[in-house]
Copies of this chain bind each other. A is one copy, B any other.
Amino acid sequence: MIAHHAPPPHDPRQNHLLAALPADEYAHLLSHLELVQMPLGLALYESGMQMRYVYFPTTAIVSLLYVMEDGASAEIAVIGNEGIVGVSLFMGGETTTNRAVVQSAGHAYRLQGLLLKDEFNRAGGRRAGTMQNLLLRYSQALITQMSQTAACNRHHSVDQQLCRWLLMSLDRLPANELIMTQELIANMLGVRREGVTEAAGKLHAAGLIEYHRGHITVLDRAGLEARVCECYTVVKQEFDRLLPEAIIP
């Protein structure tokens, strides 16, 4: 019992983008990476606000939301340990029209925007750094996710979208339990809370999930996959294709 309460083993390489960097580029960044807590509901960015940092989630999950003038919202994309929050920084925009909110509490490593830009633009012996290549391919994966979200919003039912949402969250979590009320899910999907209650009720009746006051446990992942719309699969396959070095297990 020499050391109990050892600090949890945080490692930037829990983030798949950081893990995919070659040793030299990683070393370059390491000293500038700062571990931060990501409590549920924290807004990393607000629409139009200057972004100072980018975030590499390890255990946290972040949602990109668009919030309309009347307060209604819609989730545009989800970012977990496979990605980076703040692509607008290296795209050159400095701000987005989206809000970035912590959807599942955990940790992330953050990096000053300026440092990321330097690394992005650093052209060594090769034409461009691995970092640039990696970030661009991730951005395309993110674009795919957004475009699929647009199509899914147009054509698929709340039931199907709930399945998609659960699976996408599950892919980015170590456990099969989500801490998330139906009300919050409704905000993400941009639907009524009652709609989520009803859809979740069906999944429960089918024995796929169990839930209780803000805790959702997935019992039968395969069952969800059988019900989900094509959108989930398309996005996942595209991520795997674009970022083979960072495949989510």
**A interface vs B, CB < 8 Å?**
64, 66, 68-69, 72, 74, 76-77, 87-88, 90-93, 96-98, 121, 123, 127-128, 133, 136-137, 139-140, 142-144, 146-151, 153-155, 190, 230, 234, 238, 241-242
Given known pairs A151-B76, A190-B155, the reply for A144 and B97 (CB within 8 Å) is: yes
Taking a contact as CB atoms under 8 Å apart, the answer to whether A97 and B234 are in contact is: yes
Min CB–CB distance A191 → chain B (angstroms): 8
Taking a contact as CB atoms under 8 Å apart, the answer to whether B93 and A155 are in contact is: no
- CA of A242 to CA of B94, assembled, Å: 9
- CA of A18 to CA of B244, assembled, Å: 33
Residues of B within 8 Å of A153, CB to CB, are: 150, 153-154
Taking a contact as CB atoms under 8 Å apart, the answer to whether B97 and A238 are in contact is: yes
Taking a contact as CB atoms under 8 Å apart, the answer to whether A230 and B92 are in contact is: no
Min CB–CB distance A201 → chain B (angstroms): 22
Min CB–CB distance A51 → chain B (angstroms): 12
Residue from the list B68, B87, B137, B147 in contact with A64, Cβ < 8 A: B147
Q: Chain B residue with minimal CB distance to A141?
A: B93
Q: Chain B residue with minimal CB distance to A235?
A: B97
Residues of B within 8 Å of A96, CB to CB, are: 140, 144
- CA of A139 to CA of B142, assembled, Å: 12
Q: Chain B residue with minimal CB distance to A128?
A: B121
Residues of B within 8 Å of A123, CB to CB, are: 123, 127-128
Residue from the list B98, B137, B148 in contact with A97, Cβ < 8 A: B148
Residue from the list B140, B146, B150, B190 in contact with A88, Cβ < 8 A: B140
